[in-house]
Amino acid sequence: MSERDADRRFAVVVAKPRTQAVIDALREEGVYDDDRSVRSWDGDSVAIPVTDPPQSVEVREVVEQVGEPRLRGLEDHLRERGWTDDELDAAPSSWAVVGSVVLVKLGDSPRPEEVGEALLALHGEADTVLARGGIDGAHREPDVTFLAGEGDTETIHTEHGTKYALDLAEVMFSPGNEAERVRMGKTVEEGETVLDMFAGIGYFTLPMARAGASVTAIERNPTAFRYLVENAMLNDVSERVTPYRADCRDVIREGLSSGEGLGGDGRVDRVMMGYYEAHEYLDSALSALSPGGVVHVHEATPDDLVFERPIGRLEAAAADADRSVEILDTRRVKGYSEGVAHVVVDARIE
């Protein structure tokens, strides 16, 4: 093989909105090249690196990239910009691509704008980079800062077939919860009735509805609610999603008193509590849950109280309602903050 042949590498050209779906399909076929970056191709498409032309993935065209530098990560891109070892030590260690937007935690990183430009070079499918701050207020609104690119914060993010339209400057999105969102789509059964008490833009509602569940989705943030309704239509599940812009306690109280909505008799087979302070609403959640139903409780818990505290709170709420608890599963989803973990407890309530 000549030196020129050894340097020859392939890429597939696809429309930019299909980037993540195509990458997932290429990974499944075993031809996605992790050693190279996705790069912009023209105004509306990207070139995704592959080890060989794919056989089962539909693409616009297969192209050759000869002599393309193998920049493996952010550090390589920053070194090209003259960063020293000390500066690289302070560079971001985590970021996520959400649709066409890169979300990055800057920490103590120097030269934030260069970080943004490097991330755009690393992720050709993205056109905007935002620095992530915290989540503030009763409506869980994100604090983000523009770093680089076009500045368009509205996007559509596709995750295992579920489409999420959102504005990352207006509503929260946690990339670290992806496994939980996917898991809930696999956990529910077709025909189940589900109450999602803190639905947001449809984080858990959408995969559950796509799996065939009928979901009562409650969200009081008007911006998130607008995207919730839009996303139900975007995923063709509007007939299985009943959205309410209200306080979840009011919806539950009305459903129980009228015997309508929720599960038809005011109660449901499953309750999703995907909010870190969900324990404050456990009494309402259990009142809406049919005997033998399942509740999924998310909580931000200090490391030394992981599982002990959320299980204790759940058992206390059940005792107050004269009901029993069977713990089905416990999971540590991710780190929430220093010394605090995001955990989930699944329990059957008799």
Whether 324 has a binding-site annotation, put simply, is no
Q: What pLDDT is stored for residue 1 in this prediction?
A: 34
Residue 22 predicted with pLDDT over 50: yes
Whether 219 has a binding-site annotation, put simply, is yes
> Where do the domains of the chain lie, and which CATH numbers do they carry?
3-66 (3.30.70), 74-152 (3.30.300.110), 172-349 (3.40.50.150)
- Residue 65 pairs with which residues in a beta bridge? 9
State pTM to two decimals: 0.81
Higher-pLDDT residue of 183 and 42 is 183
Q: What pLDDT is stored for residue 259 in this prediction?
A: 61
CA 206 – CA 217 distance, rounded (Å): 10
Structure tokens belonging to residue 310 = 């959320």
- Residue 273 pairs with which residues in a beta bridge? 297
Written as one letter, the residue type at 158 is T
Residue 273 predicted with pLDDT over 50: yes
Whether 174 has a binding-site annotation, put simply, is yes
Each residue's pLDDT tens digit, 113-167: 999 999 998 888 899 999 988 776 555 778 899 999 999 999 999 999 999 999 9
- Residue 332 pairs with which residues in a beta bridge? 343
- Please calculate the CA angle 137-199-166 and round it to the nearest 5 degrees: 75
At 250, is the secondary structure helix, strand, or coil? helix
Beta strand pairing status for 268-273 and 193-196? parallel
* Residue listed under structure tokens 């416990």: 330
